[in-house]
Chains A and B, each alone.
Chain A
Amino acid sequence: MLALIELSSPKGAPWEFLVVFAVLLLGPVLFRRAGIPGIIGLLVGGYAIGPHGLSLIGAGNSTLPDLGQLGLLYLMFVAGVELDLNLINKYRRSTISFGILTFAIPFVLGALVGFALGWETLAAILLGSLLASHTLITYPAVKEAGLASDPAVATAVGSTVLTDTLALIVLAGVAGSVAGGRSSVEVAAQVAVGLVVLIGYSLFVLPQLAGWAFRWLGTERAVRYVVAITAFLSAATVAELFGIEGIVGAFFAGLGMNRLVPNEGQLMDRIEFFGGAVFIPVFLVSVGFILNPSVMVKGETLGLAGLFIVACLGGKAIAAQISARLFGFSRSQAGLLFSLSAAQAAATLAATVIGFQLGLFSSAVVNAVLVLIFVSVLASTIVGTRASARASSPDGPRPLGTRIVVGLGEPELALGALTLARRIARADGGVVHPLLVVPEAAPFAPREALARLSEVVAAAGVDGQALTIVDRSVLHGALRVGRAQEATLVLVAEPVPDDDAQSTATPLAAGAPQRAWERSPAPPVAVVCGNADRLGVVRVRLDDDELESPSIAAEMARRVASGSAQRLDEDHAEWSELLAPGDVTFVSSELGDTLGKLPGVGDGLVVSTVAEWLIREESARDTPPEVPGDATLG
């Protein structure tokens, strides 16, 4: 019987994928248990299955390198899309200064090493640029320590844009020179034109296209994800049309999509999930595929690695010290600067692999860079851990649009509120969680309600988790969930009131709280009255006190208008008559004005803040036995 069974040796795509996924599964786990970063497990796993290891996948195989190429583009896209552009803007002076220093010093040292070794000019310049970039490997740990908004951390994170962009521009120039075989002037001109087109496409055209796609095609989460993938692949293609490496396009696509993909949103969750589970690890495995330990332990490789380590980590340390002195950072903050800027991975690997593909670097250089990556990850992790322990956690306010809960009773009537919330959140790179509040007395059908809600949410281009709660009122339910979710703003969508409930003008709250969202234990709350799928003119109607000090209404108006909103003064007593379809006016109001006395808004929107005392009063009613935050989330 057994003689009839003929087994053949495993081969083909299923076998190759099995081998790769086995490495993805076991590599990081085994190495982490041994106290070694998981990234090293993937690299070693790639080597183990590759032609220099067990040869389970042969040298001529193109599946793994192709998947690795996709993973590399994905990695660069994630790097761009994850950056917190608000923090970068806030600390732009220190960001630019540190970015220039932490790029220039290792770049010069690296290039000097290349020239001293007698390398070709292009190879020496590429070496300098790959040592000058950095990857925020220690950022998750620093963020976990509550230091994300520390000025030094924000400075280091922001500098990533500068260093990686400069490094990728150098890479584009070098690659263009090699691949095109033309004069440096021609290459510079082509790269310059290409970058202008690429930046225009990635930062201006792509967000418009993606935003449109999210609103009109993005009724399913899978479609949104595919839109994101398509976006960075299109930018990579645009880059390659001009002879610029695709990773530059993917990185700029990430920057362009940054506001559309909030870090706490579901789309980012999916991007990080698939990236972290498959694409980025596959890239690292594909890098390990070309690892050759017999070359790695050679004196030549170790000598190169030593030089790279001194030039890179030395340069990064000098840049961190100088910047710390320039901006008055403490010793622990200098440590954070070094820790965040020293780790080499994504951009370094990308530039190295491309240098290898272009024939500028031998496998000895690639292996030396891998040694550098290993040492830099260890050094930055050790320094980062110590610096985080010494640094004090900054307790600053979170931006208003960081996390918005929009409470709504009728999904179809809340498109205007969701659109407003998206604008406010987008300005801060935040996320919007729509919340369907079902009255306690009403029959509750979660599936139908959520289905209706998801359609409206998709039409508004909102990406947060849709929630449901049964509560006595939309305001109360939204406030409870807002507190439970640590929201920075709660919007409550109200239908347009009946004519007999209108007032001709909204008396504004006297003595409105100054920067209430920064010190109130509960999030600030505003009621959105009316509905619209597109926003028109943005106005703000404040009393004299609020005109002289920041208020929530003014802050919201500024974000929605992407600048200063049109201000209405006392002369505009009949201001509600100005409202055209989609126009929105932000006002401050006390309870009586908010709930039931808003003017007729027609097709426009009126956003009315809720007084702090009312929020406190509503919150106080949540005392036991009714525990805040016990919402039944759908």
Chain B
Amino acid sequence: MPASRSLRPLALAAIAGALTLGAVGCANAVKGASGSFRPRTPNTLTVATAQIPDPGFWAGTFAHPTGGFEYGLAKQLAARLHLARVKVVEVPFHELVRGHLGGADLALSDITITDERAQHLDFSTSYLRAPPSIVVRPGTEVADVNAARDLHWAVQHDTTLKVALERSIEPTTQTLVFEHQREVLVALEVGRANAVMLDLPVALAYAYQSPHKYAVAAQLQSEAQLGVALPQGSDNVEAVDSAIRALKAEGEIDRLGHRWLHANIEEGAAEDVPVLRAEE
């Protein structure tokens, strides 16, 4: 057998090896397999949110958050992104959805992913299903859309909930619109409104925490989902996206849901809450 033929595999191996190493050398700017994260403050994940405390989602204060689903998620994200600390900053919700994160790396504030908001923000893959739900005082019944229509409603300004209320329920009376979620709930408590619209996980958390004040009467059929919001054009989207997927795969999101929201929202298992179908 000619020597050249016998050496061909070795030559091919050498070429492939050289090309591989050469290409690796040329591509030293390539990021990690799951993307890389560059925090604004070294070794710190800065998170913007609109409200603390926010039952189920944030506990404590802005200076000293102590728990909640989104705080737990922030800590898990920081760990996966190899950052030692989590710093929380307060930014009004209407500012957040317009892309102003107050210098934070990302926002975790019950933000529903929508095309309109995606014009100002980049979103990660979703971390929680969040169909709109109807919260009432215990004892108030909402049998169907017609019954819901005649209730006195309150809702937060600049939210997908307001849109859902107007499109799906079409209240017959003037809806009270507030800047903050807590004002909406106060309106319900004091009787200015007898129904409010909240994201289902938020509603369940409120009802769990204060069952004598709030009851979740129904949920609307919706594919609404919550996501991590990042400044538009951020180079960190890939890394956050990969981290959320990993947390889902590891079951961490489910564990946080069970611990803080007392429900398996991800699987859509809030089955004891009836679905109110809007009239076509």
Which residues of A does B touch, CB under 8 Å? Answer: 55, 58-62, 109, 112-114, 116-120, 123-124, 127, 175, 178-181, 299-300, 303-304, 306-307, 310-311, 314-315, 317-318, 321-322, 325, 355-365
Contact A310 B250 (CB under 8 A): no
- Decide if B33 touches A61 in the complex (CB within 8 Å): no
The answer, yes or no, to whether B86 is at the interface (CB within 8 Å) is no
Q: Are A306 and B33 in contact (CB under 8 A)?
A: no
Q: How far is the CA of A123 from the CA of B244 in the complex (A)?
A: 16
Q: How far is the CA of A118 from the CA of B15 in the complex (A)?
A: 23
Task: Give the contacting residue for B23; candidates A307, A322, A325, A362; CB below 8 A.
Answer: A307
List the B residue with the shortest CB-CB distance to A326.
B9
Expressed in whole angstroms, the minimum distance between the Cβ of B220 and any Cβ of chain A is: 15
Docked-complex contact B239 and A362, CB < 8 angstroms: yes
Partner of A325, one of B9, B113, B241, B245: B9
**Residue-by-residue, is B230-256 near A (CB-CB < 8 Å gives 1, otherwise 0)?**
000000001101111111111100000
What are the residues of chain A within 8 A of B247 when measuring CB–CB? 359
Q: Is the CB of A179 within 8 A of B27?
A: no
Task: Output the residue of A123, A124, A360 with the most chain B CB within 10 A.
Answer: A360
A117 in contact with B29 (CB, 8 Å): no
Q: How far is the CA of A114 from the CA of B20 in the complex (A)?
A: 11
A307 lies within 8 A of B20 (CB): yes
Residues of chain A within 8 A (CB-CB) of B19 are: 310, 314
Closest chain B residue to A116 by CB distance?
B24
Closest-CB distance, B92 to chain A (whole angstroms): 25
Residues facing A in B13-55 (CB within 8 A) are 13, 15-17, 19-21, 23-24, 26-27, 29-35
Q: Using A59-B123, A179-B251, A359-B249 as known contacts, say yes or no to A303 and B30 having CB atoms under 8 A apart.
A: yes
- Chain A residues with Cβ under 8 A from B239's Cβ? 362
**Between-chain CB contacts (< 8 Å), 25 pairs:** A59-B125, A109-B20, A113-B24, A117-B27, A117-B33, A120-B33, A120-B34, A124-B33, A178-B250, A180-B250, A311-B16, A314-B16, A356-B245, A358-B246, A358-B249, A359-B244, A359-B245, A360-B246, A361-B34, A362-B31, A362-B238, A362-B239, A363-B238, A365-B33, A365-B34
Alpha-carbon separation in the docked complex, A376 to B177 (Å): 58
Tell me whether B20 and A113 are in contact (CB under 8 A).
yes
A interface, over-half SS: helix
Q: Shortest Cβ distance from A367 into chain B, in angstroms?
A: 11
| B212, CB-defined interface residue at 8 Å | no
When the two chains form their complex, are residues B223 and A60 in contact, meaning their CB atoms are under 8 A apart?
yes
Cα distance, A314 to B126, chains bound together (Å)? 39
Q: Is B115 an interface residue (CB 8 A)?
A: yes
Q: B20 to A359, Cβ gap below 8 A?
A: no
Query: B interface, how many residues as a size bin?
Result: 35 or more
Shortest beta-carbon contacts, A-B, top 9 = A359-B246, A314-B16, A303-B27, A123-B33, A359-B245, A362-B35, A362-B238, A116-B24, A119-B33
- The docked-state distance in angstroms from the alpha carbon of A117 to that of B34 is 12
Which residues does B use to contact A, with CB under 8 Å? Answer: 5-6, 8-9, 12-13, 15-17, 19-21, 23-24, 26-27, 29-35, 80, 113, 115, 123, 125-126, 223-225, 238-239, 241-251
| Residue pair B23, A306 in contact (C-beta under 8 Å) | yes
Smallest Cβ distance from A181 to chain B, in angstroms? 5
Known: A120-B34, A359-B248, A362-B241. 8 other contacts (CB 8 A): A55-B115, A120-B33, A178-B250, A307-B27, A315-B16, A317-B12, A318-B16, A361-B242
Complex contacts, B30 vs chain A, CB 8 Å: 117, 300, 303-304
Name the B residues within 8 Å of A117 (CB-CB): 24, 27, 30, 32-33
Given contacts A109-B16, A181-B250, A363-B238, contact A306 B245 (CB under 8 A): no
Residues of B within 8 A of A58 (CB): 115
**In contact, A310 and B20 (Cβ under 8 angstroms):** yes
Q: Which residues of A contact B243 (CB under 8 A)?
A: 359
A325-B9, A359-B246 as given contacts; A303 in contact with B26, CB under 8 Å? yes
Bound state CA distance, A39 and B225, in angstroms? 31
Q: How far is the CA of A626 from the CA of B68 in the complex (A)?
A: 86
CA–CA, A581 to B28, complex, Å? Answer: 75
Least distance between B151 CB and chain A CB atoms (Å): 26
How distant is the Cα of A407 from the Cα of B206 in the complex, in angstroms?
75
Name the residue on B nearest A308 (C-beta): B23
Q: Do B24 and A359 have beta carbons less than 8 Å apart? A: no
Verify A120–B115 contact, CB threshold 8 A.
no
